[in-house]
């Protein structure tokens, strides 16, 4: 099945607008995706008809809100093929999920243990481990990358040793657009008794993800990058670990019994969901999953790959353009970071904005990576299910127009 781009675009009313006298072309979905009307309607309907706290009241609104909230958990479970709904913990997003993991595993690290990540990680998968290393005396180490930004698996094999306790890697880079071999890294990690963690913020929205096949111990992702509202995310964990580990947020609803001096925790998944959750966000995430499932994740992936296969060779043929990540379109997702030599990325982004095209400029919350590739910042275009080949052409035209405006050959 081929996605009907024109039909899909009608679901996203925000795209039907003029920016700086030009039709909007939104190429910043790696930062946050747009939301289809079906998701907006479900969230609005909740607030209009069912707004109530969950798991607390036995009145009709409370029952309906709880039912919708927990139905979304079941949708997430099926979407990532988790084995049990208790493995799906709602959080504020990928950042919160990764911070939870770092806190939960703190008691299992000692001085001299090693935490292994890569140079391509988002700050959300760097700073929690830096802080964990400080608190425990563990050492944070980095896996090298090859010349096109792929993980150097020889270096990974050399660095994953009996001292390694945690391996945490992005499934897909938010800068390089490379898909990382999470399953293979997990096999290496588990062989030495280490935990395997993956940041799925840039993978879950764009491809089919099977956490059981990946055999990860923890997996984190955000709703707002997959057509859902902001402020909702998921932490998936291996059931035995979630049962063993203690929560790191405390308060209402995550307790079984509260005494004057001590308390006991509720069963999963409530154990890790303290306080009033983002009910509307979770319900919106469920609606987004319905929307993506209706389109088909394989179809979404194929559509984005068609754009990359078409665009990347054209981009590579333009003189004075540096592109970061794999040169083979088959190895590159719809995240394309680039620079026009001689121009600051912020000037490029501003020039694109004047042409109605939204791209991001900066370090993309990946400063260690930018230093690793000897760049202070880049521009980044990121394509999603609502983008078209015509927009890819206009993106190329914008690069040529920008070069001409600044007098570059």
DSSP 3-state of 160: coil
Concerning whether 365 is annotated as a catalytic residue, the answer is: yes
DSSP 3-state of 292: helix
pLDDT for 57: 82
- Is residue 199, in this structure, part of any structural domain at all? yes
| Residue found under tokens 């190895």 | 331
Q: What are phi and psi of 372, to 5 degrees?
A: -60, -40
224 and 95 both lie in a single domain: yes
214 and 326 both lie in a single domain: no
Nearest to 359 by CA among 39, 126, 19: 19
CB 266 within 8 A of CB 254: yes
Cis peptide before 79, with omega less than 30 degrees from 0?
no
276 and 334 both lie in a single domain: no
Which CATH number goes with the domain that contains 316? Answer: 3.90.1150.10
Query: Which of 293, 327, 358 is at the close of a domain?
Result: 293
Q: What is the pLDDT along the chain (409 residues), one digit of tens a residue?
A: 689 988 999 999 999 999 999 999 999 999 999 999 999 999 999 999 999 999 988 899 999 999 999 999 999 999 999 999 999 999 999 999 999 999 999 999 999 999 999 999 999 999 999 999 999 999 999 999 999 999 999 999 999 999 999 999 999 999 999 999 999 999 999 999 999 999 999 999 999 999 999 999 999 999 999 999 999 999 999 999 999 999 999 999 999 999 999 999 999 999 999 999 999 999 999 999 999 999 999 999 999 999 999 999 999 999 999 999 999 999 999 999 999 999 999 999 999 999 999 999 999 999 999 999 999 999 999 999 999 999 999 999 999 999 999 999 8
- Report the C-alpha gap between 57 and 321 in whole angstroms: 59
Query: Which of 277, 293, 309 is at the close of a domain?
Result: 293
Cβ atoms within 10 Å, residue 125: 26
153 and 225 both lie in a single domain: yes
Class of residue 31 by CB neighbours under 10 A (exposed 0-12, middle 13-18, buried 19+) = middle
269 and 319 both lie in a single domain: no
138 and 218 both lie in a single domain: yes
Q: What are phi and psi of 163, to 5 degrees?
A: -80, -15
166 and 65 both lie in a single domain: yes
- Report the C-alpha gap between 143 and 152 in whole angstroms: 7
- Number of domain units in the chain: 2
257 and 149 both lie in a single domain: yes
CB 169 within 8 A of CB 185: yes
Q: What are phi and psi of 389, to 5 degrees?
A: -65, -35
What token pair was written down for 400? 């040529």
239 and 335 both lie in a single domain: no
- Is residue 272, in this structure, part of any structural domain at all? yes
- Is residue 18, in this structure, part of any structural domain at all? no
- Is residue 22, in this structure, part of any structural domain at all? no
pLDDT for 142: 98
- Report the C-alpha gap between 322 and 142 in whole angstroms: 25
CB 233 within 8 A of CB 222: yes
Buried b or exposed e, range 195-230, using 16+ CB within 10 angstroms: bbbbbbbbbbbbbebebeebebbbbbbbbbbbbbbb
What's this model's pTM, rounded to 2 decimal places?
0.97
51 and 86 both lie in a single domain: yes
- Is residue 10, in this structure, part of any structural domain at all? no
252 and 176 both lie in a single domain: yes
Which CATH number goes with the domain that contains 271? Answer: 3.40.640.10
- Report the C-alpha gap between 406 and 276 in whole angstroms: 52
- Is residue 19, in this structure, part of any structural domain at all? no
389 and 256 both lie in a single domain: no
- Is residue 147, in this structure, part of any structural domain at all? yes
Nearest to 233 by CA among 101, 127, 337: 101
Per the structure, the complete domain to which residue 392 belongs is given by: 296-405
- Is residue 32, in this structure, part of any structural domain at all? no
| Active-site pick, 354, 365, 401, 408 | 365
């Amino acid at each position: 099945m081929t996605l009907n781009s024109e039909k899909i675009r009608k679901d996203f009313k925000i795209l039907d607008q003029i920016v700086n006298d030009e039709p909007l072309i939104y190429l910043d979905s790696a930062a946050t995706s747009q939301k289809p009307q079906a998701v907006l309607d479900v969230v609005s309907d909740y607030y209009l008809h069912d707004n109530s706290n969950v798991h607390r009241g036995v009145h009709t609104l409370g029952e309906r809100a709880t039912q919708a909230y927990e139905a979304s958990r079941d949708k997430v479970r099926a979407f990532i093929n988790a084995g049990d709904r208790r493995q799906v913990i709602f959080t504020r997003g990928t950042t919160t999920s990764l911070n939870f993991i770092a806190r939960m595993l703190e008691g299992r690290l000692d001085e001299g243990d090693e935490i292994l990540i890569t140079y391509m990680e988002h700050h959300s998968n760097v700073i929690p481990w830096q802080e964990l290393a400080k608190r425990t005396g563990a050492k944070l180490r980095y896996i090298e990358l090859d010349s096109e930004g792929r993980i150097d698996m020889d270096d990974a094999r050399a660095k994953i040793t009996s001292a390694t306790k945690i391996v945490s890697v992005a499934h897909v880079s938010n800068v390089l657009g490379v898909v990382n071999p999470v399953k293979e890294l997990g096999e290496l990690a588990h062989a030495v008794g280490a935990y395997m963690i993956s940041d799925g913020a840039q993978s879950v929205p764009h491809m089919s993800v099977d956490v059981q096949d990946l055999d990860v111990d923890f997996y984190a992702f955000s709703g707002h990058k997959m057509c859902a509202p902001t402020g909702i995310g998921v932490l998936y964990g291996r059931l035995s670990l979630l049962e063993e580990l203690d929560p790191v947020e405390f308060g209402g609803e995550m307790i079984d019994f509260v005494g004057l001096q001590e308390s006991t925790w509720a069963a999963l998944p409530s154990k890790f969901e303290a306080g009033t959750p983002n009910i509307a966000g979770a319900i919106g995430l469920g609606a987004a999953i319905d929307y993506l499932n209706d389109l088909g994740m394989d179809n979404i992936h194929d559509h984005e790959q068609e754009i990359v296969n078409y665009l990347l060779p054209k981009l590579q043929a333009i003189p004075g353009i540096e592109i970061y990540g794999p040169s083979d379109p088959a190895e590159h997702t719809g995240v394309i970071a680039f620079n026009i030599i001689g121009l600051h990325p912020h000037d490029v982004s501003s020039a694109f904005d004047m042409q109605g095209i939204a791209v991001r400029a900066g370090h993309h919350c990946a400063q260690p990576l930018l230093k690793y590739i000897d760049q202070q910042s880049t521009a980044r275009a990121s394509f999603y299910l609502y983008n078209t080949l015509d927009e890819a052409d206009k993106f190329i035209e914008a690069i040529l127009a920008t070069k001409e405006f600044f007098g570059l050959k």
